[in-house]
Structure 1
Amino acid sequence: MPFTPALRGDAINNFDFVKRIHNSFARRMDMLHSDLQLKDEATSRKSRSGKPSHDDGEANAAFHFIAFVPAQGKVWKFDGLERQPQALGSSTVGNDWLDLVRDNILTRMYEYEEDQIEFSILSLARDPLLDLVDKLAINVKSLDILQRHMTLSGGCSGQTAFLDPGLENTIWGADKSLGLNQDQIDQAQVPAEESSRYQNCSVEDALQYQTHLAHGQQELRAAIREEQQSHRADDEYATGRRYDYGPAVRTWVQFLARKRILEELK
């Protein structure tokens, strides 16, 4: 029997894996503060009689999530204040499903004044670094195909010495610093048309193809290093965000209390 939306939400809320990942970016003080806030809200609700006021609804509406997800051929809107998901329309291959949600997002944005930024937009997408490394693997494999072709044709042996000095750092195989291993190169799929062209061209054309690929690889390597730097910055931020300063603060406050300095601050 399929879960109702409410039961699905309850199941996710009690999913230990999700809770562990969610809380991995929170300090102990953050969780204690959140628990205290929930306790205060529960106490406040018990003390009120009758239905919640309009102001209560506005306060709750200001802090909730709305997600738009393409799934099972449709685009769904998941609103934390609605009972169940809402289907916005069909999502077909080749069409940009964001066209279906753009009006919803713009309508909500226009509800605020020009100088009131009361919302934020986040996108969950595939890590671009993965695609960049895949493209690099195809690039390296293409260079290898050309090199083998020229060697068999008697045009040259060994790696090509490019006329452009800026291409001397072209990689011809796995490179750990770029996250590229030999398995990825072996599994890379060079388009059949390009592979055929590389294997049946003249030596002069092969040299031109290699130079073109080397220039493209230069751009790929730069993009990969930029993404790697972005990853390191994110990791450093996450590490700092997880660090719990609570024990140090408590120790310092206790020290000030023993010195009776806190009494002077009253």
Structure 2
Amino acid sequence: MTSPKGNSVKNDTSPDPLAAEDLPTTETSNDPPTGPVRRSARSKKVPANYEAGIIISGPKASLLTPSRSSRPKRKAADMAEKTIAANSDRILDEVIERMKPGEHKEWAGWVELESDPAFFNAMLHMLGAREFKINEVFGLDDELLDMLPNPVFGLVFLSQYTTEESLGEKRAGCPEDLWFANQTTANACATVALMNILMNTPDPRFGNEMQQFKDETNDALPPRRGHMLDTNDFIRGVHNSVARRLDLLSEDLILQSKYEDQHKSLQRNKRSMKGNKKTSKKASTTNKKPKKVDPDACNHYIAYVPLNGKVWELDGLEANPLCLGEHEEGNWLGRATEAIQTRMAVYENLTYNILALCQSPQVSLVDKLATNVACAQNLDTLFRLNPAWTLPSPFTIFTDPKLSEFNLTRAQVDSKPLPESFVAKTRGGDFSVEQAQRMMNELSLEQQSIETDYAEELANHDEAIAKIQGRQRDYTPLIHTWVRLLSQAGVLKGLIKSVG
């Protein structure tokens, strides 16, 4: 039979196995069809890879849904999910695993430090700068500043970072006698500020690593000093010693996120510039919004130091230091606090904190004790042959082992110069044994006071070390293992339900 359009149609008398259950029921007729036979334009080709590998033709084929494995994208996603599920426990175990001894030095980044005097004092101890101590400044009044241990070598001013324009500051080049390093990496500003003070202290006594760093950077330019500080494994390891592995990973993720945001911002700016080529310069400048201070901005440390009769502001993010002017002898803090108060007045909505790098009281106490024992030994030498002199020799009390507790030796005590006031009293012709005994009693009371203060300073130092050691302890692996055991025992669900 030929259709009106000339298409050849064959009579297929083979039974359709799906016809009885899928085709609608109609009245049967032996009459031939009166109209043209319509065929669907849909493809009769059946997709491969059906579930169970069955390929069915006919009307039923269009009702079947292909399996998830027949979709390449979905198949890749399934494989990724299975891979992540299989490796999640291993990855988590690696993340929360206890830090290895040298891992802080191997990590090339810097963690953000909080302004805690105990952390800074522990850092000074580990850096080998044990003659120094960080003290918190509770106010800029003269009475509060006088409470700081003397001498004060520098101030560390902490505030939230702002990208506002500088306050009309004119910065010249860095003088040769001033040690100043630029900050060349993120989160290192605390250590940069600390180094900008330590390296400018007169006649410092450092450990081997710090002394080597000072010798290597003395003749370098500020950017080079900053780079050498950034790549110094010893100093960076001390800075990161309070961090756990999760802190290091968090800093990596934050840095990656900042990079991606900056990259997207640059791409948007490029597209915007291409779309606005006809925009005049005048219009583009008038559309600029003023910069605002981000309330969640990160903290930034700035150092203030005296040097050769002048006060300097050392901001590692600036190319050069800022000279604040000359200061009166012994009153450089007044010039520095004036500049700090100016900053605080301009940025009223920011938070602040001030630390002072001072000489450790242990140094002055040891020096005071050596002078005391030298005076007592001088009195004992003057009246030892007098029958009325019954007091013991100071070296029977301050034996060599006892002196070593204060990092002193008998030779250091013998070479200690006597105060002029003491010499004036003892060299008089009317100086009697009774006066010498009263003076010895006063020196004995002073010795007891010095020993008490020294023991208190040692306790404060040990407390700072214990605090940073406690921060270094990571209980995350223990907690994770305990929670996993609870989950495997089926107890965790019950605990969650009882709390909920």
SS in 1 for 2:365: helix
In 1, the alpha carbon distance for the partners of 2:421 and 2:246 equals 59
Contact 1:29 1:246 in 2 (8 A): no
Are positions 1:64 and 2:300 aligned together? yes
- What residue identity is the alignment partner of 2:443? L
Are positions 1:84 and 2:320 aligned together? yes
Q: CA deviation at 1:27?
A: 2.4
Are positions 1:143 and 2:376 aligned together? yes
**Residues 183-211 of structure 1, C-alpha deviations (whole Å, 9 max, x = no match):** 44234332255246436532122112112
Other-structure match for 1:105: 340
In 2, the alpha carbon distance for the partners of 1:117 and 1:185 equals 51
The CA RMSD over aligned residues, in Å, is 3.5
Other-structure match for 1:219: 449
Other-structure match for 2:45: none
In 2, the alpha carbon distance for the partners of 1:53 and 1:250 equals 48
- Larger displacement relative to structure 2 (178-187 or 70-79): 178-187
- What residue identity is the alignment partner of 2:319? R
**Residues 7-51 of structure 1, C-alpha deviations (whole Å, 9 max, x = no match):** 322221112221122122222322222222222222221121349
Other-structure match for 2:422: 194
Contact 1:136 1:220 in 2 (8 A): yes
In 2, the alpha carbon distance for the partners of 1:234 and 1:98 equals 26
Q: CA deviation at 1:97?
A: 1.4
Contact 1:136 1:217 in 2 (8 A): yes
In 2, the alpha carbon distance for the partners of 1:137 and 1:199 equals 21
- What residue identity is the alignment partner of 1:84? N
Other-structure match for 1:47: 264
Are positions 1:233 and 2:450 aligned together? no
Are positions 1:120 and 2:353 aligned together? yes
Q: CA deviation at 1:149?
A: 1.2
Other-structure match for 2:474: 244
- What residue identity is the alignment partner of 1:204? E
- Larger displacement relative to structure 2 (227-236 or 48-57): 48-57
Contact 1:75 1:87 in 2 (8 A): yes
In 2, the alpha carbon distance for the partners of 1:47 and 1:56 equals 21
- What residue identity is the alignment partner of 2:414? D
Task: Describe the shift of the 1:78–1:117 C-alpha distance in structure 2 as closer, same or farther (beyond 3 A).
Answer: same
Relative contact order, higher structure (CA 8 A, sep 6+): 2
In 2, the alpha carbon distance for the partners of 1:86 and 1:54 equals 26
Aligned partner (choices 243, 250, 267) of residue 33 of structure 1: 250
Contact 1:77 1:87 in 2 (8 A): yes
Contact 1:139 1:217 in 2 (8 A): yes
Q: CA deviation at 1:179?
A: 2.2
In 2, the alpha carbon distance for the partners of 1:89 and 1:137 equals 38
**Residues 41-81 of structure 1, C-alpha deviations (whole Å, 9 max, x = no match):** 22221121349986686469652111112235432211244
Other-structure match for 1:130: 363
In 1, the alpha carbon distance for the partners of 2:295 and 2:258 equals 12
Contact 1:139 1:213 in 2 (8 A): yes
- What residue identity is the alignment partner of 1:131? S
- What residue identity is the alignment partner of 1:29? L
In 1, the alpha carbon distance for the partners of 2:222 and 2:361 equals 33
Superposition map of 1:138-217 within 5 A: 138-159=371-392, 171-174=397-400, 175=402, 179=406, 181-183=408-410, 184-195=412-423, 197-198=425-426, 201-217=431-447
SS in 2 for 1:48: helix
- What residue identity is the alignment partner of 2:362? L
Q: Which runs of 5+ in 1 are unaligned?
A: 161-169
In 1, the alpha carbon distance for the partners of 2:295 and 2:317 equals 12
- Larger displacement relative to structure 2 (122-131 or 73-82): 73-82
In 1, the alpha carbon distance for the partners of 2:473 and 2:432 equals 60
In 2, the alpha carbon distance for the partners of 1:54 and 1:185 equals 65
- Comparing both structures, which one devotes a greater share of its residues to helix? 1
Identity value in percent: 32
In 1, the alpha carbon distance for the partners of 2:248 and 2:383 equals 63
SS in 2 for 1:40: helix
In 2, the alpha carbon distance for the partners of 1:26 and 1:86 equals 33
**Residues 212-245 of structure 1, C-alpha deviations (whole Å, 9 max, x = no match):** 2222223222211221221121121121111122
Task: Describe the shift of the 1:182–1:10 C-alpha distance in structure 2 as closer, same or farther (beyond 3 A).
Answer: closer
Contact 1:26 1:242 in 2 (8 A): yes
Contact 1:68 1:75 in 2 (8 A): yes
